[in-house]
Every structure is written in C-alpha cells, then in structure tokens.
Amino acid sequence: MKIVELIKSHRAKVGIIGMGYVGLPLSKVFSFKGFAVTGFDIDKQKVLSLNNNRSYIKHIPSSVIREMCVKYHFRATEHFSNLKQMDAIIICVPTPLTVMREPDLSYIVNTARSIRQNLRKGQLVVLESTTYPGTTDEVVKPILEETGLKCGKDFYLAFSPEREDPGNPKYSTEKIPKVVGGVNRISTDVAVLLYEQVVLRVVRVSSARVAESSKLLENIYRCVNIALVNELKMLFDRMGINIWEVIESASTKPFGFQSFYPGPGLGGHCIPIDPFYLSWKARQYEMVTRFIELSGEINISMPYYVVSKTMSALNERQKLLKGARIVILGMAYKKDVDDIRESPSLKLMELFLKEGARVTYNDPFIPSLPKLRHYKFSPLKSTPLSVKMLKKQDVVVISTDHTAYDYQWIVQNSSLVIDTRNATKNVRGYPERIVRA
C-alpha cells in the first residue's frame, strides 16, 4: 500500500487542520520527525503569523516556528484545495457547546466538507477534536463517502484524542501515549503506523468509538473529582476545617487516592465542555448522566461562592461590595498559561461588576482582554502590580496562582486577600488579611 510506504519513510505529506493549542504542537512534532507538514486554518492572521515565523502561543517560542519553516519546510495556508496533495489529514478544530449547551459540531462538519471536496484515493483522515462517541462513524464518514469513495477501501478514517497539558513541561506531545482507534481495522492499522513515527507509545483500541469515549472518560473523571473537592471545600469551610490541609494529609495514602484541588470554578477548553458532549449523546439512549450533571452544577456555582465569601469578608470590615475596588489576579484559566477560554476569572469579573464593584485585573500573560463570546466587558488592560495599586484596593482576589506572583509581597501590601487557590499557604504573618474561598 502506497500510504504505508510513505509513512514508514516519512515521505508522507501531513496536513493538519486547525492551528490552535492542539494543531500547532502536533505540527511541530511531525515536522521535527521530518514529515512535510502543511497547517490549514481559516484564520488568516494565524496563517500569516506562522508563515512569518511568529508564534501566538506562549509555550511555543517563535524560534520553534522558524525552525519548522526554515529547516523542515512547514507552511501554513488558508487554501483548502491543497488538501488534495496531503497523504494524511489530521483534524484539530474546536468542539464548543452551543448557547443551549449542546455539542456544536459545525467546525467538524465544515472541515469534513472541505476534505470531501479534496478527498482522493489512499488518504488517511484522523479526527483529534474531542467529541461524543460515534462522531467519526456517524458524522465524518458519511460526509467523506458522499464522494463515492469507500472508507477502508479507498481511504482510511480514525479517531485519536489529544492529551495536551498546556504549560506542563514534563509531558511533551511525543511522551504522552496516544490512543488510536479506526472505523475499521485497516484504518486503525494505518493511523497507528502514522502515530508510531512520532510518539513513544501508541495505544491501539478496537474502534473509533472506544477512542472517543476514552478521552471523555479522562475528562469526566477530572470534572467529577474537582466538583467533589469543591463541594467539600464549602462544607469544611463552614465547619472551620481547611480543605487544603485535608487534601494534603489524605494524599499521603500511597494507594487508592489521587489529589484534586478546589478552585474558583472550572476553566479551559476541555473539562467544562467535553462531559456535556456525552450527556447529550446519552439522551439518545434514554439515559441521564447524573454524575456529569451534578458536577457541572457544583462547578458552575463556584464563582458565586467566591463572590459571597468576598461579600461576607467585606461585611466584617463594615464595607460594601457595591463600589468596592477589586483587582483580580490571574485571568488565565490555570497557572502559567495565556489561555482564558472558559476561565472562571471572567465569570468572577462579571459577577463583581453586576454587584457594582469597580473591577480591574492583573495577569502577566494576558496584557489585554480579547473580545469574548460570552462576556461584554469594556476594553480592559492588565493593571501593573505596584504597592500603590494594591494599597488602593478593597479586595485582592487571587483567581489564578501564577508562579510569577510574589504572594508574601502581595499580602503585605493588601488589606484583604481572597485566596481561591491556597496560593498564600507559605505567607508569613497577616492571617487576618487572608480569606480562603
């Protein structure tokens, strides 16, 4: 088979659709293994930026893009007719929820249609976007087969979930085992072969549906466990017990326990969204995914809890939330990343503003707030941290525990710190200024 020879010799042309947090690092991995990679995106700015050797993702330096372009001939394009020349096509487009919190497959469908127009015999197509079980078989395959070409005979189709942990230097893409499942056996064989060239371990599963489900299980597991500690945080707080100390001591159990940490809510492109892809699909089978619904409910309520703790802390100081000056430290959804998608800090900002507080923010990674789909804030820039700025605030809310922050200095210069991340655990003195929420 020609595709097998091309993959084995690294002469296969790889097209990656969606140059975002998943597609760009993947392009890097394939490029560095000697494959000719073309990155496809509908965002002209991203295409331009990549072709000018410029990165737009913090943890991928521009020098890497330059190396990809100059040494390994990586190119980005918005012209999807170039898909015809590709031997392997990997889809990494977004899978958000609609306003009704239902799966929005429009990106996958549009991409599949673009591929359909350019599909030819011998190509491998792999979907990497997180989605409900059955998407590859029931949505992508029929669109591609509208060409008259048959999956498993004329082209190959598989699903392989992405397990990127942005900002975690311990696990680079090549070191993370890659689950791969095709819609038929031959598709699995070809897709497994492709990924074996670039990652250390490929985990072969019996179908695309298993691969799709495995990604959802991973994320639902996190979502449910985070909700559990969030609920316990609220209970233990009422009982005067520090949840962080409880988790630390429980984590000394050498088996059967994994630590999860509470926070101001759930953020990122995956964990707040992916579980609801399965809830939606479950309804087709007359099942209700109660764990997912319950954990969603608890996690969504967390920013409201932080606001009510802030209100009580101000109340104790005979102050009102209305008119209070609040600075939120950290807008990114987790520490040391520049990604604000679904960040609970945004919800916090919205809730504080609704209560009439005067809200600003600081985040070393988010110099200004971009246009947001769900929030309508007036244009806002990160306020530089200074003693004067901190002293002016009625409340400093630590929403994201970036490593760059000097928490001792922050507490020393603030009158009230609402700490949602236990970031102040090593701060010496001033216990009366810190409220955990």
Ligand X SMILES: NC(=O)c1ccc[n+]([C@@H]2O[C@H](COP(=O)([O-])OP(=O)(O)OC[C@H]3O[C@@H](n4cnc5c(N)ncnc54)[C@H](O)[C@@H]3O)[C@@H](O)[C@H]2O)c1
Interface residues with ligand X (CB under 6 A) are 17-23, 40-43, 46, 92-95, 107, 110-111, 129-130, 162, 164, 166, 269-270
Q: What is the DSSP letter of 417?
A: E
Cα angle: 3, vertex 208, 161; to 5 degrees? 85
Query: Which residues, including other chains, have CB under 8 Å from residue 39's CB and lie 6 or more apart?
Result: 15, 16, 19, 23, 24, 27, 47, 50, 74, 75, 76, 77
> Is 223 labeled as catalytic in the residue annotation?
no
Report the side by side order of strands in the sheet with 417-419. Answer: 358-362, 325-329, 395-398, 417-419, 434-436
DSSP class per residue in 94-151? ---B-TTS-B--HHHHHHHHHHHTT--TT-EEEE-S---TTHIIIIIHHHHHTTS--B
- Using DSSP, state whether 395 is helix, strand or coil: strand
CB 309 within 8 A of CB 437: yes
CA neighbor of 158 nearest in space, from 199, 200, 186, 196: 186
CA–CA distances in Å: residue 34 to residues 67, 164, 397: 12, 21, 47
Q: Pull the structure tokens for residue 170.
A: 């311990």
* Rounded Cα distance, 4 and 192, in Å: 11
Judged on CB neighbours under 10 Å (0-12, 13-18, 19+), 205 is buried
Residue 434 dihedral angles phi and psi, to the nearest 5°:
-105, 130
Q: What is the DSSP letter of 155?
A: B
CA neighbor of 144 nearest in space, from 131, 163, 158: 158
* Rounded Cα distance, 354 and 378, in Å: 13
Identity of the residue, 22 or 314, whose beta carbon is nearer to ligand X in the bound complex: 22
Identity of the residue, 309 or 334, whose beta carbon is nearer to ligand X in the bound complex: 334
Which single residue is written with the structure tokens 């490593």?
A: 403
Judged on CB neighbours under 10 Å (0-12, 13-18, 19+), 175 is exposed
Shortest-Cβ-distance residue relative to ligand X: 20
CA neighbor of 114 nearest in space, from 90, 83, 85, 137: 83
Parallel, antiparallel or unpaired: strands 156-159 and 178-182: antiparallel
